[in-house]
């Protein structure tokens, strides 16, 4: 058979046979190719459909960047209606696609270098509308398999404008929250007390010392920082806000991770859903504000020197104590403590020593009472103690109050070490027991004040229980104060003049004494109302009256040849002399009445010596410039220091009448008067003796060099017209002018 075939092939018909076989093979190949072509064509059509239906923009572009194909998503992204319109628009337009210059070149460089670009984020224009949008773009190069030549590149474009906006907002939000002085938070509360922290900003770490991640992992992290004393109220406030679905606001103390105690403010708004409440809130560190509030409260309610509650806080506490007594049906007690002779200590030793003493007194008072009781400083040297729950019976309350008062006196009697000074103090204590029947705190304080003055009148360093009978005397005192105010407007006050004579018995001047002719009580002497005027702010009115009335009289004397030689002295209180406008007032009145100031003497009590010596010396120098003389009244009874007396520009001393009254019977008073008279001669001063009542006193005074005399031996104080009559009815022999004193007490 093989040979037959060979014969056939070897024969002339082999070409025919080969042709037949080849034709069959070609036919089969054509059939196969067509089948593959049709299948590929179908797949291509399917792929085109798939690309056209993608939500991402798909494109094909030549290596130079010119687009040659794009799907419908890309067409819409660029604002066109069809692929043809888009390709023509891109081809014909010279408008930049990328917003940032050079961004396209950067894309091309990466593509040509790496053969691909992935997630290339850029801001571009919608090509047709020029609206700015953000996209992310990826692409790959397609090469010729045989030559390796770059044919084109294919890529995808997805718009991410909303994503970028959200990311920018989140970035901005993070920046803002990171710079907030507090932290934002969001958490959920479920009915079973389970909580879930949803969000915490970075600022929370600055407050708590715990990172946001830790707060998110542990919803109780912040609550655990709240100090034990505040935690119950903190949780209760949140539960109450949740129950009422109201905003939650609270201020609470926490202890941060580093151990610092801080005040924080919580402010959150609730949002209820079916299964929980979501809180959206803010926490802030308010430690600085709280510190300022406490400082303000201390200024408003605490004495800055002793750190004790002040009068305002005392009255608030006292009001609460009264209400509590009424509610419980028991008693309380108020102790009013006034330090004896504090003014002397403060004026003579200086304010630093005085302040040191007050601080130590406050400390000792605290130790005398229970923690629930109150000690307060309500004035310069005035303290109060409020004792609460002293017993159901007034007797029990009185016993507790008196016992505490005695403990206080004992504590204050122990020596105080005040720097270089060792001082033994004492106090006068007034006691009032209250039960709530009297509702006014100021009324109970007034009763304790009255009791304190009773203790002081009894000799100081003692305790007095309030006696209701004293209220009548106090009421009378306040009625007199009211009448005194009326006396100024109704011209009920007048000046009387008591002659002053020299050693020959000739009148050289007069001392003026203020008198009050009360419409119902009759004549009231200065001892009964001058101190009242000084205590209740009428001192200036009284001083103005005395100056005006006295200078009016002096002006009249200077116009009368018979009386022109007479001098007048005006007693100046410590309050008046310490006033900044005293010299100005005196200057204006001297000018207004046109008097010769050299015929005028200002009489100062020894209390002025206890004041600021530099201030006193300066004020006295101003007075001397006016031309007036200066006299030191009641010498020997106060605070005079010979060293200071020598430095100050006094012209004369006035011997206190109490020494003059006893020079006949008291060896001590006689020795003292002789010493005073010798000292005045040594210092070159004149000496004036008051309250001279008989010739024996006058003889003793004249024998030891007294210059001037005044008292009932010569004349009582008389009204101005009667004083003038003494000169015109029987004019006394005129003597060389000498100083005359004015006394208001």
Rounded CA-CA distance 588/266 in Å is: 65
- Residue 2, classed as helix, strand or coil, is helix
The pLDDT confidence band at residue 745, using thresholds 50, 70 and 90, is very low
pLDDT at 48: 55
Strand order in the sheet with 248-255: 195-200, 182-189, 277-285, 261-272, 248-255
Rounded CA-CA distance 501/504 in Å is: 8
Rounded CA-CA distance 437/575 in Å is: 40
175, part of any domain: no
Rounded CA-CA distance 427/130 in Å is: 93
202, part of any domain: yes
Domain boundary among 447, 468, 489: 468
- Across 356-362, average pLDDT: 95
- In a shared domain, residues 527 and 663: yes
- In a shared domain, residues 24 and 70: no
CA atoms within 13 A on the CB side of 11: 9
296, part of any domain: no
744, part of any domain: no
- In a shared domain, residues 449 and 325: yes
Alpha helices in 53-124 (DSSP H): 72-77, 83-92, 103-114
Structural domains of the chain, count: 5
Quick: pLDDT tens for 627-644: 999 998 877 665 555 666
| Of the candidates 740, 613, 606, 631, the residue with the CA atom closest to the CA atom of residue 685 | 631
- Residue 719, classed as helix, strand or coil, is strand
DSSP code, position 338: E
**For the chain, what percent of residues have pLDDT higher than 90?**
29
Rounded CA-CA distance 475/218 in Å is: 70
Rounded CA-CA distance 358/352 in Å is: 10
pLDDT reading at 609 higher than 90: no
736, part of any domain: no
pLDDT at 458: 79
Q: State the average pLDDT for the chain.
A: 83
Rounded CA-CA distance 617/298 in Å is: 38
Report the 10 Å Cβ neighbour count for 509: 29
pLDDT reading at 692 higher than 90: yes
CA distance to 310, 321, 364, 394, per residue, from 408 (Å): 19, 21, 8, 21
| Of the candidates 548, 627, 561, 549, the residue with the CA atom closest to the CA atom of residue 588 | 548
pLDDT reading at 6 higher than 70: no
What CATH number should be reported for the domain holding residue 446? Answer: 3.30.70.270
Alpha helices in 245-341 (DSSP H): 287-301, 311-328
β-partners of residue 512 are 497
pLDDT at 532: 77
Tokens representing residue 714 in the block: 């010569």
pLDDT reading at 721 higher than 50: yes
pLDDT at 611: 62
551, part of any domain: yes
- In a shared domain, residues 285 and 360: no
Its domain, for residue 319, covers 307-468
- Across 14-21, average pLDDT: 58
φ, ψ for residue 564 (rounded to 5)? -65, -20
Rounded CA-CA distance 342/351 in Å is: 11
End-to-end Cα distance, the chain: 174
pLDDT reading at 2 higher than 70: no
- In a shared domain, residues 13 and 81: no
The pLDDT confidence band at residue 542, using thresholds 50, 70 and 90, is confident
pLDDT reading at 383 higher than 90: yes
- In a shared domain, residues 464 and 586: no
- In a shared domain, residues 341 and 460: yes
pLDDT at 175: 61
Tokens representing residue 497 in the block: 């003049």
270, part of any domain: yes
Per the CB < 8 A criterion, the answer to whether 187 and 197 are in contact is: yes
φ, ψ for residue 44 (rounded to 5)? -65, -40
Quick: pLDDT tens for 311-338: 999 999 999 999 998 888 888 999 999 9
Q: Which helix (H) or strand (E) holds 33?
A: helix 14-52
Sort 223 into a burial class: Cβ within 10 Å, 0-12 / 13-18 / 19+. Answer: middle
Per the CB < 8 A criterion, the answer to whether 128 and 78 are in contact is: yes
Rounded CA-CA distance 375/358 in Å is: 13
What CATH number should be reported for the domain holding residue 142? Answer: 3.30.450.20
Domain boundary among 50, 66, 82: 50
Rounded CA-CA distance 410/685 in Å is: 46
pLDDT at 364: 95
DSSP code, position 259: S
pLDDT at 349: 86
- In a shared domain, residues 704 and 586: yes
CA distance to 187, 236, 250, 285, per residue, from 230 (Å): 21, 10, 11, 16
Across 51-60, 166-175, 285-294, least confident range? 166-175
Quick: pLDDT tens for 489-512: 888 889 999 999 998 888 999 999
- In a shared domain, residues 242 and 344: no
Rounded CA-CA distance 404/241 in Å is: 47
The pLDDT confidence band at residue 181, using thresholds 50, 70 and 90, is low
The pLDDT confidence band at residue 5, using thresholds 50, 70 and 90, is very low
Across 113-127, 195-209, 630-644, least confident range? 630-644
CA distance to 57, 120, 128, 129, 401, per residue, from 76 (Å): 8, 20, 10, 11, 95
pLDDT at 391: 78
Per the CB < 8 A criterion, the answer to whether 452 and 428 are in contact is: yes
pLDDT at 335: 95
Is the whole-model pTM more than 0.75?
A: no
Domain boundary among 235, 261, 291: 291
Report the 10 Å Cβ neighbour count for 428: 24
- In a shared domain, residues 46 and 61: no
735, part of any domain: no
The pLDDT confidence band at residue 13, using thresholds 50, 70 and 90, is low
DSSP code, position 275: S
Per the CB < 8 A criterion, the answer to whether 601 and 629 are in contact is: yes
- In a shared domain, residues 232 and 143: no
**3-state percent helix, strand, coil for the chain, nearest multiple of 5:** 50, 25, 25
Tokens representing residue 198 in the block: 């949803």
Rounded CA-CA distance 404/489 in Å is: 47
Q: If you write DSSP's letter for every residue of 185-212 in order, what string do you get?
A: EEEEE-TTS-EEEEEE-THHHHHHS--H
Rounded CA-CA distance 201/211 in Å is: 9
- In a shared domain, residues 153 and 260: no
């Amino acid at each position: 058979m093989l040979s037959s075939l060979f014969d056939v092939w070897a024969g002339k018909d082999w070409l025919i046979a080969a042709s037949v076989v080849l034709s069959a093979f070609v036919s089969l190949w054509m059939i196969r190719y067509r089948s593959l072509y049709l299948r590929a064509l179908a797949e291509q059509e399917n792929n085109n459909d798939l690309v056209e239906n993608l939500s991402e923009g798909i494109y094909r572009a030549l290596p130079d960047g010119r687009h040659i194909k794009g799907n419908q998503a890309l067409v819409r992204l660029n604002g066109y209606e069809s692929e043809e319109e888009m390709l023509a628009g891109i081809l014909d337009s010279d408008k930049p696609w990328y917003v940032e210059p050079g961004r396209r070149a950067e894309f091309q460089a990466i593509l040509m270098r790496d053969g691909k670009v992935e997630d290339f984020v850029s801001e571009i224009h919608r090509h047709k509308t020029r609206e700015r949008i953000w996209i992310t773009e990826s692409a790959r190069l397609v090469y010729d398999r045989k030559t390796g030549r770059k044919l084109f590149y294919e890529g995808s474009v997805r718009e991410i404008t909303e994503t970028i906006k959200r990311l920018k907002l989140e970035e901005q939000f993070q920046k803002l929250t990171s710079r907030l002085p507090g932290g934002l938070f969001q958490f959920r509360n479920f009915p079973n007390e389970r909580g879930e922290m949803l969000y915490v900003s970075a600022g929370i770490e600055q407050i708590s010392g715990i990172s946001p991640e830790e707060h998110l992992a542990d919803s109780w992290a912040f609550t655990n920082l709240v100090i034990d004393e505040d935690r119950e109220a903190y949780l209760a406030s949140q539960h109450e806000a949740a129950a009422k679905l109201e905003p939650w606001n609270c201020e609470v103390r926490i202890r941060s991770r580093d151990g610092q105690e801080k005040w924080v403010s919580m402010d959150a708004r609730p949002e209820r859903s079916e299964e929980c409440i979501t809180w959206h809130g803010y926490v802030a560190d308010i430690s600085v504000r709280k510190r300022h509030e406490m400082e303000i409260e201390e200024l408003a309610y605490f004495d800055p020197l002793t750190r004790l509650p002040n009068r305002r806080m005392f009255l608030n506490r006292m009001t609460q104590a009264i209400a509590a007594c009424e509610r419980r049906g028991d008693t309380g007690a108020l102790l009013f403590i006034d330090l004896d002779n504090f003014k002397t200590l403060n004026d003579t030793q200086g304010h630093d020593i005085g302040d040191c003493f007050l601080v130590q007194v406050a400390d000792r008072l605290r130790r005398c009472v229970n923690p629930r009781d109150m000690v307060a400083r309500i004035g310069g040297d005035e303290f109060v103690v409020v004792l609460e729950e002293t017993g159901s019976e007034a007797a029990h309350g009185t016993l507790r109050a008196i016992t505490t008062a005695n403990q206080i006196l004992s504590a204050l009697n122990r020596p105080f070490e005040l720097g270089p000074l060792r001082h033994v103090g004492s106090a006068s204590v007034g006691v009032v027991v209250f039960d709530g029947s009297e509702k006014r705190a100021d009324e109970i304080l007034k009763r304790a004040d009255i009791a304190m003055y009773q203790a002081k009148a009894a000799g100081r360093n003692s305790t007095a229980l309030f006696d209701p009978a004293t209220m009548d005397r106090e009421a009378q005192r306040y009625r007199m104060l009211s009448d005194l105010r009326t006396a100024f407007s109704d011209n009920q006050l007048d000046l009387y003049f008591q002659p002053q004579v020299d050693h020959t018995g000739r009148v050289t001047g007069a001392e003026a004494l203020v008198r009050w002719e009360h419409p119902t009580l009759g004549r009231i002497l200065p001892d009964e109302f001058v101190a009242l005027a000084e205590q209740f702010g009428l001192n200036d009115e009284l001083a103005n009256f005395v100056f005006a009335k006295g200078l009016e009289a002096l002006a009249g004397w200077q116009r009368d040849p018979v009386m022109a030689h007479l001098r007048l002295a005006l007693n100046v209180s410590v309050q008046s002399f310490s006033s900044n406008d005293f010299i100005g007032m005196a200057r204006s009145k001297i000018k207004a009445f046109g008097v010769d100031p050299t015929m005028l003497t200002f009489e100062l009590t020894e209390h002025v010596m206890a004041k600021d010596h530099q201030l006193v010396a300066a004020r006295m120098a101003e007075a001397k410039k006016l031309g007036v003389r200066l006299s030191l009244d009641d010498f020997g009874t106060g605070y005079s220091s010979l060293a200071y007396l020598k430095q100050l520009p006094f012209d004369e001393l006035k011997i206190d009448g109490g020494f003059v009254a006893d020079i006949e019977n008291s060896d001590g008073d006689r020795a003292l008067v002789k010493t005073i008279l010798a000292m005045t001669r040594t210092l070159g001063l004149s000496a004036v003796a008051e309250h001279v009542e008989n010739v024996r006193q006058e003889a003793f005074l004249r024998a030891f060099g007294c210059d001037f005399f005044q008292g009932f031996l010569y004349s009582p104080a008389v009204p101005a017209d009667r004083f003038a009559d003494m000169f015109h009815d029987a004019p006394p022999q005129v003597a060389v002018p000498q100083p005359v004193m004015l006394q208001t007490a």
